[in-house]
Amino acid sequence: MRWAAAAAVILAAALLQSAWGPRLEIVGAFPNLVLLVVLAGAWTLGPRAGMAWACAGGLLLDLLAAGPLGPHALALVPGAYAIGLLARGRHQPHALVVAVAAAVMTVFYSAVLVLFHPAPAGTAMRLAVAAALYNSLLAPFVFAPVRRMVLGTITRRAQA
């Protein structure tokens, strides 16, 4: 049940990001819903589950993009691992902490992705910074419901 719920959330995030992300472009940056969902998963469940979410979400993004399978997954896994390790045992985080975590994870993500889609340094930096700001603004709104869903499934599982 827990994995089914996680899979549904990741699939919905990937499809929404692909279909609607480009419509919400600001200064070249797209909102990255999958990254934000992976952030919430890694923060709540730890690094191993976070990396599993990152792989699933990343592969879905790869399927929805041109080019080989793997770059988006590879771009998400380091962030999920780092967030999972750093957040282990932390209480409910402040929205500002979530926003900063999303920004850092976005910079990780962009740095890896640019290896597969080379761009001039200035352009890559501008896109990465804009995406980091964009994602950090959206992060608290995505983080809270996803974390609540994850904790809800854990509680139901314990009661069963």
Chain positions contacting another protein, by CB under 8 A: 14-23, 25, 28-30, 32, 34, 44, 46-48, 51, 54-55, 58, 60-74, 77-78, 81, 84-85, 87-92, 113-114, 116-120, 123-124, 126-127, 131, 151, 154-155, 158-159
CB of 141 to another protein, least distance (A): 18
Q: Are 45 and 1 in contact (CB under 8 A)?
A: no
Distance CA 122, CA 68 (A): 25
Phi, psi of 29 (to 5 degrees): -100, 145
CB of 96 to another protein, least distance (A): 18
Please compute, for residue 153, the number of CA atoms within 13 A of its CA located in the half-sphere on the CB side: 16
CB of 23 to another protein, least distance (A): 6
Phi, psi of 83 (to 5 degrees): -65, -40
CB of 45 to another protein, least distance (A): 8
Angle between helices 95-116 and 121-159 (to 10 degrees): 120
Task: Considering the complex, state which of residue 4 and residue 158 has its C-beta at the smaller distance from another protein.
Answer: 158
Question: Which DSSP string do the residues of 52-87 spell out, in sequence order?
Answer: HHHHHHHHHHHHHSSS-SSHHHHHHHHHHHHHHHHH
